[in-house]
Structure 1
Amino acid sequence: MRRFVRENALTLFFLLIFLLALAGQAVTGMARLNHDLVAEGAAPVSLLAYVTSGDFAVDVAENWQSEYLQFFLFIVVTVWLVQKGSPESKQPGEEGAGSDKDAMVGAFARAGSPRWARAGGIRRWLLSNSLGLVMGVLFLLSWLGQSVAGLSAYNAEQLGAFEDPVTWAQYVGSAEFWNRTLQNWQSEFLAVASMVSLAVFLRQRGSPESKPVGAPHGATSVEN
């Protein structure tokens, strides 16, 4: 167990703080909602009722979809786009998917390579693009979840105000939906741009996300 924890500490750490943050969001979100309900003369809701509501689901899903979109785009566009001097980028001139030798597939697969790395056709293509594909699917699923949960929460507000509910297509095409969505997207895109560009000139000793402290500012990726 100790070896498992040590070898997977990074994943376990982020999963733990994810669960703590999610629990904190649930408790504070319920407190905020109950404050508003009591102020309006309505009965407060339980924690279970809140975490199974559209209000909670849409807040969670809209953050998940923006995060998965960020990683999906970063994984895919860094195949073709570079940033000189950034450890997050390949070196200029190395744009593209690279050769089979670089990817260690086919005849260049090694003893410990995944089985599909030696295969051809659709199996090799799926393995070669599996990370981007899964991140893209997770983005689409969380985006769909956001739209469904948001529709539920929005229609609850509509009915509470004695207005007609809207369809899913109407909600997805509304300013309400895209305002919530783009608020998250713009912050994710700015964060990625900041990380890529600031890592050209700034360092964090011991971090694999940083170049060595003494590396030239113009050194890029494995050039270090």
Structure 2
Amino acid sequence: MAVSKDSFLYKNGLSIVVVSLFIIFLFCQFITGWHVKNEELAEHKIPPLSLYRYFLSPHFMQATFENWESEFLQMGMYVLLTVILRQKGSAESKPINEQEDVDKDPVPHKKAPWPVKKGGFILSVYKHSLSISLGILFLLSFTFHFIGSLNNYNEEQIQKSLSVVSWKEYMIDSQFWFESFQNWQSEFLAVASLVILSIWFREKGSPQSKPVDASHDEN
């Protein structure tokens, strides 16, 4: 059955599908992580966790926010870097020598967002609200990743009859930064792949691609 172009589903299909996939894969991560954690506990002859207790566990907290942290870092940095940097021939870059609509100063009009109509300090903040919001989400995810990782590490230390560490000690521990860097590098590899591959390769109908008949030098 064809979907009307005026329907809610048609107008919001991209966000609906992406959010739905996020929920599905988060649930899959939760269930598989629950099994992994209980297998580890069984090895130490510790009673298994219920689904509710695993949801509140540092193991799930660490794994979840460890990934969210890298995603928000990637997107925030990408938004900022594409403001000032260019890549000749890439669909992900602004034109080398041309000004785009996103570079123009905002002009108040009837349908403009209220910060544009308000002006002043509110507009100054609103002009950078995308990178600011992504930065805040990164910092929150980084914090929760650290808390989850620290508590999970100390739980494992207790299971091994070893001493626990303080947050100051763990902040300079290689374990935490290994968890972060292994995700950060993969995120920027993905961005670099999209930026560079879009110079030569195409996907008809995608806004992340140049037109199929565009030259390789064209942005």
* Structure 2 length-normalised TM: 0.91
Match of 2:41 among 34, 37, 41: 37
Q: Is the 8 A contact 2:94 2:100 kept in 1?
A: no
Q: Which has the larger displacement, 85-94 or 175-184?
A: 85-94
Deviation (angstroms), 1:93: 3.1
Verify: 1:15 aligned to 2:37, yes or no.
no
Q: Which runs of 4+ in 1 moved over 6 A?
A: 95-98
The whole-number CA distance in structure 2 between the counterparts of 1:69 and 1:218 is: 29
Verify: 1:65 aligned to 2:69, yes or no.
yes
Alpha-carbon distance change, 130 to 46 in structure 1, aligned in 2, over 3 angstroms:
same
Counterpart position of 1:133? 132
Deviation (angstroms), 1:111: 2.9
Deviation (angstroms), 1:88: 0.9
Verify: 1:24 aligned to 2:23, yes or no.
no
Deviation (angstroms), 1:94: 4.9
* Residue correspondence of structure 1 range 196-207 to structure 2 within 5 A: 196-207=195-206
Counterpart position of 1:154? 153
Q: Is the 8 A contact 2:149 2:176 kept in 1?
A: yes
Q: Is the 8 A contact 2:44 2:159 kept in 1?
A: no
The whole-number CA distance in structure 2 between the counterparts of 1:173 and 1:124 is: 39
Q: Is the 8 A contact 1:109 1:117 kept in 2?
A: yes
* Structure 1 length-normalised TM: 0.89
What residue ranges of structure 2 are gaps of 5+ in the alignment?
Answer: none
Q: Is the 8 A contact 1:62 1:180 kept in 2?
A: yes
Q: Which has the larger displacement, 43-52 or 125-134?
A: 43-52
Deviation (angstroms), 1:109: 3.1
Q: Is the 8 A contact 1:81 1:95 kept in 2?
A: no
Counterpart position of 1:85? 89
Q: Is the 8 A contact 1:82 1:95 kept in 2?
A: no
Counterpart position of 1:176? 175
Counting matched residue pairs gives 214
CA RMSD, Structure 1 to Structure 2 (Å): 1.9
Deviation (angstroms), 1:173: 1.3
